Structure 1
Amino acid sequence: MNKQKQLSEVTELWKTNKKQYVKKSSFSAYTLLIENHVLPTFGKAFHVEETDVQDFVFRKLESGLSHKTIKDILIVLKMILKFGAKNKWFEYTPFDIQFPTEREKHSLEVLTKSDQKKIMNHIQEHFTFRNLGVYICLSAGMRIGEVCALTWEDVDTDRGVISVSRTIQRIYVIENGIRKTELILDTPKTKNSIREIPISKDLLRLLKPFKKIVNPSFFVLTNDARPTEPRTYRSYYKNLMKELHMPDLKFHGLRHSFATRCIESNCDYKTVSVLLGHSNISTTLNLYVHPNMEQKKKAIEQMFKALR
């Protein structure tokens, strides 16, 4: 039998192995979870019991960490433990962790129809390339990294489609013991995220005049060879929303608003899922197929109309 190792040693060997198979951004996400959560708690351990992990979960919940983040940490921890057990460096007994029922319902942040119209009208009247990004997200449901990575080459005004094939993100890296961040332009996380989105008539009217004169290799948001990064663009968007006296909606709320408008227009769920680049339709159903107050009122009115 191989010599038993501490979890911190197993983790380093697992990272060296894992780095060969995953995208740089995924590896960065794993590293961050390991550094901030796994090693401080389990790094010195030679064996991890189910009770240790259950206590860890309760502590993290108390500290305000979300269920999703904690579940992500447990996925990484399990991968490391299984790797250690496979190489006979670490004892691993599969564990079954319980999460308390989430009492609060997390409602999606979505723009009202009137606020969405107000923003879109403002952008049409006060055109800038950075404003155009917000208009594109409301018209195509793109993620912030995808719109930051969009070049004029990806915008086909003849066919009337936007091709989404890249994303920009700032990732966390550790090189020779030095921690730093790095901006990377990469393919999206899943193959479903690589997609073509039809351009609406209003958006096409905005894009056509520029498409004839711009450099196709330039990024849409900057109309320059250098892109803007999501963090910078998020801050620009916040100021724009403040200027328009809009609710304090996260940038991702633009994507939620696009999806909600599609569902409200009775667009079939499979199509919405493909437009958003979700890896499966259940993600779309879980996120968006919840009737809002407007739809609930309509259902009640229709029921009583039928009774009359």
Structure 2
Amino acid sequence: MAKTTYRKRKINGKEYYFYRLRHKNLKKPKDMYGTTVKELNTKIKSAVNELDNGITDNREYFGAFIKEWLYNTHLVNKKPSTRERYDSVFRNYIDDSPIYDIKLKDLTPLDIQDYYKKLVAAGKSIAAIKNLHKLIAPAIRYAYDSNKIVKDFSRAIVLPQDNEQKKLNKINDVRPFTIDEQMKFIKAIEGEPLEMLFLTAIDTGLRQGELFALTWKDIDFNNSCIRVNKSFKSIRNIDSGTYESITQTPKTINAIRVVPIPEHLIPKLKQYKLQQKKLKFKLANLYEDNNLVFCNEFGKHLDSSNVRKKLKKILESIGLPDRRFHDLRHTFATRLFELGENPKTVQELLGHGNISITLDTYTHVLADMKVKAVSKLNDLYSSMREK
């Protein structure tokens, strides 16, 4: 047996190795115990490391720490939609979770890694876990910067990845109209109150929130373009718990952009504007003039649920499969790719944060383009042989 200078003590009839730790950051000596010399050495080393780094609070739990940090530091001055998103992540994935009651000083990368693994096993999406990590990683960094933990281990955590089937499901979730379906849909919405909303979505690729926030000041008929600089949505106020509608700047700088208006759409938008003016005059004081391009009959913002129901009803009436409003945006992008437009241009028109989002979203379209490109090469060689 290895020699040791540690004394032994009996507690409740059981023998322990004992050490009285003294340190400049301790107000009084701290007694430490271990059933083996190795265990006691590990505890002493860990305690000294924490004390050397000024870490003296051993009672704070990770859940309580992240809650305090989130609402009193991280979310200060954040947009309402960002506050709502992170509040939802905390309530659904941290509050009352296995990692909530782990002491902050005892938290390890393995604890987080194991929790992510359990979430995957429970069927949670990789996207949801990545959103959770956007909360946990900066919280760990803040804890380190605040001398609450010895090491910033946020970069040691490995995020789970989508398997091939899930990637395939994502691709299948993009359901643009075929050209024939698009023409059939355009014919079906003629004269509908939301005709111009649907047409503009298909011909510009704007997101629903961007279209709902669009004002006539944003449309430049002289230069045939739309200036996209804001978005409208309904969010839950995390302080009151009630839902409220807000118009805010886009999430990323790339979303602020100028989108050309197809030539055929310009006279339709002008005619639509004239009709809107007539309705405004007719309703007089009943009309709430927010200068919105797309609004309900009283000038107020459109309701996404009602728009969704109307789209579903139109598709059913012409025998087309159900689609989301966002698939109108996918249709715009798909047509551009089919016409030979390069991905970088499509990215800029859609306002994607980076080119990889565009490439990942439209993998199936780009794959078809590759086949056509090779086919053109075959045709070239055939023509060369004939000569």
What is the aligned partner in structure 2 of residue 251 from structure 1?
A: 325
- Whether the aligned pair in 2 keeps the contact of 1:278 and 1:284 (CA below 8 Å) is yes
CA RMSD of aligned residues (A): 2.4
Contact 2:235–2:244 (CA under 8 A) maintained in structure 1: yes
Q: Distance in 1 between matches of 2:94 and 2:252?
A: 26
Aligned match for 2:217, one of 135, 148, 153: 153
Distance 1:159 1:101 in 2: 43
CA shift at 1:299, angstroms?
4.1
Q: In the alignment, does 2:313 pair up with 1:239? A: yes
Aligned to 1:188: 250
Q: Which residue of 1 aligns with 2:191?
A: 126
Q: Measure, in 1, the Cα distance between the counterparts of 2:157 and 2:201.
A: 40
List structure 1 runs of 4+ shifted beyond 6 angstroms. none
Look up the match of 1:110.
176
Name the stretch that deviates more: 90-99 or 40-49: 90-99
Are 2:101 and 1:44 equivalent residues in the alignment?
A: yes
Structure 2 regions of 5+ residues with no counterpart? 1-54, 278-289, 383-387
Match of 1:34 in 2: 90
Number of residue pairs aligned between Structure 1 and Structure 2: 304
2:99 paired with 1:99: no
Q: 1:77 aligns with which of 121, 131, 136?
A: 136
- Identify if the C-alpha distance between structure 1 residues 269 and 220 changes in structure 2 by more than 3 Å, giving closer, same or farther: same
Hey, what's the Cα distance between the residues in 2 that align with 1:98 and 1:150? Answer: 37
Deviations 1:224-259 (A, max 9, x none): 431013333223322222223222222211111111
Match of 1:206 among 268, 287, 303: 268
Relative to structure 1, is the Cα distance of residues 261 and 93 closer, same or farther in structure 2, using a 3 angstrom cutoff? same
Picking from 207, 212, 219, the partner of 1:143 is 207
Deviation of 1:45 after TM superposition, in Å, equals 1.8
Q: Structure 1's 229 and 185: CA in aligned 2 closer, same or farther, altered over 3 A?
A: farther
* Seq. identity, %: 25
In the alignment, what sits opposite 1:305? 379
| Contact 1:6–1:90 (CA under 8 A) maintained in structure 2 | no
* SS of residue in 1 equivalent to 2:237: strand
Give the greater-gyration-radius structure (CA). 2
Q: Residue in 2 aligned with 1:6?
A: 61
- Alpha carbons 2:337, 2:366 under 8 Å: kept: no
In structure 1, C-alpha distance between the alignment counterparts of 2:137 and 2:334, rounded to whole Å:
36
Q: Does the Cα contact within 8 Å between 2:214 and 2:294 map onto a contact in 1?
A: yes
Distance 2:157 2:176 in 1: 36
- After TM superposition, give the deviation of residue 213 of structure 1 in Å: 5.5
Equivalent residue of 2:94, what SS? helix
Measure, in 2, the Cα distance between the counterparts of 1:221 and 1:64.
39
Q: State the Cα distance separating 1:16 from its structure 2 match.
A: 1.2
Report if the CA contact (8 A) 1:165-1:188 is conserved: yes
Q: Per-residue displacement from partner, 1:129-160 (whole Å, max 9, x unpaired)?
A: x2321111100001111111122332233332
1:165 is aligned, of 226, 229, 245, to: 229
Shift of 1:127: 3.5
**C-alpha separation between the residues in 2 aligned to 1:6 and 1:199?**
55
Is the CA contact 2:207–2:329 (under 8 Å) kept in the aligned structure 1? yes
Moved more, 93-102 or 194-203: 93-102
- For the structure 1 residues 62 and 21, does the alpha-carbon distance in structure 2 shift closer, same or farther, using more than 3 Å as the test? same
Change (3 A) 1:270 1:87: same
Q: Distance in 2 between matches of 1:109 and 1:257?
A: 8
Letter in 2 for 1:113: I
Secondary structure of the corresponding residue to residue 144 of structure 2: helix
Give how far 1:278 is off.
1.5
Q: TM-score, normalised on structure 2?
A: 0.71
Structure 1, unaligned runs of 5 or more: none
Task: Write the deviation string for residues 252-278 of structure 1: whole angstroms up to 9, x where unpaired.
Answer: 111111111111111232221111112
